[in-house]
C-alpha cells in the first residue's frame, strides 16, 4: 500500500503514470463516460484548514469514480476537541477506503499515515502541497509547456515552493526560485531536492532577484505571501515581499508565450497584479479545474497499488 504524502516518495515513472491516468480519465469525463474505478469506495476528507478547490475537487472526483466523499471538518469531529491523530486514523481507516487530509504540521499527516490501514493523500500541509503540483504539471502539459521547461517561482519559500522543488527535481527540469531574504525554502527540502536533481538532471537555482528568475522562462508562478496559519505575520510579510508582485513588467521579461500559474486563492495587488491575473485567467482556471482530473489519477493509481482484503473491488486501470 502506498500513501501520497510528498512527491519525494515516488519515482519519475510513477508520477508520470499518475499523470497519464489523469489524462485518460479526464478525456473519459469530458465524453461523459464515468468509469467506476472506485465503485462503492469512501474517501474520508479531513480538513483542519479552509478549502474551496481541494474540497470540491476531491468530493466531486470520488463521486465521478463511483464512490462517495465524506467531508470531515476538524471543527465537527472529535479531532478538534483533542482526540489524538493516531486514534482518529485507527478509527476512520477501518471504515473508509482512502483518506485525504489537510492539516498544519507535516508530521501530523505522517502520524495519521503511520496508523492508517488505507492510503492517505496529502491535501496540503505547512510543508507541501503535492496534489497541486501534479495538477500544475498536467496543466503545463496541456499548454505545451512540459517539454524541458524553465519555470520560475516568485514569492514565499512555502509549501508550494517546496512542492515545485520536488516536481522539478524528480522530473528533471529547470526551476528558479526567487524569495525575499529570510523567506527562503527550508534547507532540508532544498538538500533533498538537490539529491533528486543530481539523479534527474534538474537545474535548481535560488536567489533573491525575481527579475533574474523570470528572465526568458516558460512558466511563471507564485503563491500567497500569507499562508493559512500565518495571519498574525501579515503586516510584516506584506512589507518583506515588496517588489515580488508578478505584474506585466515582470511577465515581459519571460518568454512571449510564457504561461502564468497560480494555485489560488489569489490576492490581487499583492503576489499578482489584477491585469496579469486576468490576462492569464484561462491558464489559471484550467489549472483549478485540473485539480479534479489530476487527483482522480492519483486516487486510481493508489487504489491499484494496494493489498486490501477486497481485491475484487479494485478496477484495474
List residues binding ligand CP (CB under 6 A).
Answer: 51-54, 124, 132, 263-264
- Sketch the per residue contact string, 155 through 174, with ligand NVA: x for CB under 6 A, - otherwise: ---xxx--------------
Residue 106, all three cell numbers = 507535516
Our CB check for ligand NVA shows the closer of 118 and 177 to be: 177
Catalytic one of 129, 237, 262, 280: 129
Catalytic one of 53, 162, 237, 291: 291
Our CB check for ligand CP shows the closer of 51 and 303 to be: 51
Which residue of the chain is nearest ligand NVA when measured via CB? 227
Taking every pair of C-alpha atoms in the chain, what is the biggest distance, in angstroms?
Answer: 57
Indicate whether 272 belongs to the interface with ligand NVA (CB under 6 A): no
**Cβ count within 10 A of residue 287:** 27
CA-wise closest residue to 265 among 226, 293, 292, 230: 226
Catalytic one of 151, 185, 217, 263: 263
Residue 165, all three cell numbers = 522543488
Given a contact cutoff of 8 angstroms between Cβ atoms, the answer to whether 86 and 78 are in contact is no
Query: What are the angstrom distances between the C-alpha of 47 and each of 35, 74, 101, 124?
Result: 27, 6, 6, 9
Given a contact cutoff of 8 angstroms between Cβ atoms, the answer to whether 98 and 121 are in contact is yes
User: Which run of H or of E encompasses 130?
Assistant: helix 130-142
Q: For this structure, is 237 an active site residue?
A: no
Our CB check for ligand CP shows the closer of 42 and 221 to be: 221
Q: For this structure, is 291 an active site residue?
A: yes
Residue 237, all three cell numbers = 510579510
CA-wise closest residue to 177 among 199, 155, 198: 155
- Sketch the per residue contact string, 213 through 252, with ligand NVA: x for CB under 6 A, - otherwise: ----------xx--xx------------------------
Indicate whether 177 belongs to the interface with ligand NVA (CB under 6 A): no
Active site residues: 102, 129, 132, 223, 263, 291
What residues make contact with ligand NVA under the rule CB under 6 A? 124, 129, 158-160, 223-224, 227-228, 263
Amino acid at each position: 500500500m502506498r500513501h501520497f504524502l510528498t512527491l519525494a516518495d515516488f519515482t519519475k515513472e510513477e508520477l508520470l503514470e499518475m499523470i497519464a491516468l489523469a489524462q485518460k480519465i479526464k478525456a473519459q469525463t469530458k465524453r461523459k463516460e464515468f468509469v467506476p474505478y472506485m465503485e462503492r469506495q469512501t474517501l474520508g476528507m479531513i480538513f483542519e484548514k479552509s478549502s474551496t478547490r481541494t474540497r470540491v475537487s476531491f468530493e466531486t472526483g470520488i463521486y465521478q469514480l463511483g464512490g462517495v466523499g465524506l467531508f470531515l471538518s476538524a471543527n465537527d469531529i472529535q479531532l478538534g476537541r483533542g482526540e489524538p491523530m493516531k486514534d482518529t486514523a485507527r478509527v476512520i481507516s477501518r471504515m473508509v477506503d482512502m483518506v485525504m487530509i489537510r492539516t498544519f504540521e507535516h508530521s501530523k499527516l505522517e502520524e495519521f499515515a503511520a496508523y492508517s490501514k488505507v492510503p492517505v493523500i496529502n491535501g496540503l500541509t505547512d510543508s507541501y502541497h503535492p496534489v497541486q503540483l501534479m495538477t500544475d504539471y498536467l496543466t503545463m502539459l496541456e499548454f505545451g509547456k512540459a517539454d524541458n521547461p524553465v519555470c520560475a517561482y516568485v514569492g514565499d519559500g512555502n509549501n508550494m515552493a517546496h512542492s515545485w522543488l520536488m516536481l522539478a527535481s524528480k522530473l528533471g527540469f529547470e526551476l528558479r526560485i526567487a524569495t525575499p531574504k529570510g523567506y527562503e525554502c527550508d534547507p532540508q527540502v532544498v538538500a533533498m531536492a538537490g539529491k533528486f536533481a543530481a539523479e534527474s538532471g534538474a537545474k535548481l537555482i535560488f536567489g533573491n532577484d525575481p527579475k533574474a528568475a523570470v528572465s526568458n522562462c516558460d512558466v511563471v508562478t507564485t503563491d500567497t505571501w500569507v499562508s493559512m496559519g500565518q495571519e498574525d505575520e501579515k503586516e510584516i510579510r506584506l512589507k518583506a515581499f515588496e517588489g515580488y508582485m508578478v505584474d506585466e513588467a515582470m511577465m515581459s521579461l519571460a518568454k512571449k508565450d510564457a504561461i502564468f500559474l497560480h494555485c489560488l486563492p489569489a490576492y490581487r495587488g499583492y503576489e499578482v497584479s489584477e491585469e496579469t491575473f486576468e490576462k492569464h485567467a484561462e491558464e489559471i482556471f484550467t489549472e483549478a479545474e485540473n485539480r479534479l482530473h489530476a487527483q482522480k489519477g492519483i486516487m486510481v493509481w493508489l487504489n491499484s497499488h494496494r493489498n486490501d482484503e477486497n481485491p475484487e473491488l479494485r478496477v484495474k486501470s
